Amino acid sequence: MSDFDLRASPQLPCQGTSARVWVISDIQQSEPADALATLSAAVDDMLATDQKLDAVWCLGDALRGPDEAALEQVADLFIRQLARLNLPVCYLLGNHDVDLKRARDIDHHPLWERTRAEPNWHTMERLDDFFFARRIGGCLAVFMGDHAHPGGDWFTTHGGVSGRIPERYPHDQASYTRLSQAMAGFAGPVMIASHYALPGGQKPSGLMGRLLPLPANVKLVMHGHAHIGDLVWNKDNPWQRNNPVSGQPLRQFNVSALESVRSPGSHSAVLKISPAGPLSLRIRCHQEHKWLDTFPLAEA
């Protein structure tokens, strides 16, 4: 028996029988002016599309760099820009969201801490939780990003555990197996939204690999981190958005990146969900103001 009861996960409201979610990832600008330009242009473009969205999911790397004053400004503008959409926002951390810890060993997480006081924001309850979950439109979304010991002993990054005392990381293989079993126990389709890919995808995470094999009711994996078109850090098939999950008849989709420095264009996705499961994933470029691709997801 699993000790994670995902059936009791909080519900995200949706307007109709199907839900639409704007999925963004990897904004990662260290200069507040650049972060504002990137994010405000994307929000402007989404408002112009009149998509009737129900939620925003941010798959990490909202921040970048170890400059505490700049991080506070970016965290503040992040919340103000997304507030223009007046939607619930689910936020998980990526490796750049823990840059302050990685570079300076400072146990301060500017955006995550601010979201705790924001009623429209959803994130992990505790900094050391390795997932959080929400129900939406009859489905379950499981969010998985980087996490850290509140006292600073350890933190996760790039699919591993770092820090002063990494051996104190509490989420062993059995923890991830229990989460996988809990997903199987949810009476409906499950989607995984993560910062890192699972094995089989681009720049995969060893910790995420602990979830495998995933149960059959997991119908979709989406991730960030491996910026599309980044020829330096994502050299293997850099334009491939749609990749397999190792050993399973399941696909994972790279939705990054909103930044346009490492990744040509400013990309995000709109996910359409029905109670029967995910229906489609459309890729948007906010610089070109056009839809680049549509992936049908419904099972025959």
- Nearest residue (CB) to Fe ion, 46 versus 92: 92
Assess 102 for contact with Fe ion (CB under 5 A). no
- Nearest residue (CB) to Fe ion, 94 versus 201: 94
Assess 64 for contact with Fe ion (CB under 5 A). no
Which tokens go with 187? 């009476």
- Nearest residue (CB) to Fe ion, 98 versus 281: 98
DSSP letter for 204, please. Answer: B
- Nearest residue (CB) to Fe ion, 53 versus 63: 63
CB of 192 to Fe ion, least distance (A): 16
CB of 157 to Fe ion, least distance (A): 9
Assess 94 for contact with Fe ion (CB under 5 A). yes
- Nearest residue (CB) to Fe ion, 70 versus 98: 98
CB of 112 to Fe ion, least distance (A): 15
225-264 per-residue burial string, b: 16 or more CB within 10 A, e: under 16: bbbbebeeebeeebeebebebeebebbbbbbbbbbbebbb
- Identify which of 9, 80, 65, 38 has the alpha carbon closest to the alpha carbon of residue 256: 38
Q: Which of 61, 99, 128, 153 binds Fe ion (CB under 5 A)?
A: 61
- β-strands 218-223, 160-162 pairing: unpaired
Q: Which of 25, 81, 95, 157 binds Fe ion (CB under 5 A)?
A: 95
Find the largest Cα–Cα distance for the chain.
51
Which tokens go with 80? 């103000």
- Nearest residue (CB) to Fe ion, 225 versus 251: 225
CB of 267 to Fe ion, least distance (A): 15
State the residue number with the nearest CB to Fe ion. 225
Residue 163's alpha-carbon distances to 105, 109, 131, 204, 251, in angstroms, are 8, 15, 20, 20, 32
Distance CA 217, CA 184 (A): 6
Assess 205 for contact with Fe ion (CB under 5 A). no
Task: Choose one: 11-19, 53-61, 118-126, 273-281; the region binding Fe ion (CB under 5 A).
Answer: 53-61
Judged by CB under 5 A, how many residues of this single chain contact Fe ion?
4
- Nearest residue (CB) to Fe ion, 63 versus 220: 63
CB of 148 to Fe ion, least distance (A): 15
**Full DSSP string of 55-115:** EEEE-S----SS-HHHHHHHHHHHHHHHHTT---EEE-B-GGGGHHHHHH-----HHHHHH
Assess 159 for contact with Fe ion (CB under 5 A). no
Distance CA 15, CA 72 (A): 33
Assess 225 for contact with Fe ion (CB under 5 A). yes
Q: For the chain, first and last CA: distance in Å?
A: 32
Which residues would be at the binding site for Fe ion (CB under 5 A)? 61, 94-95, 225
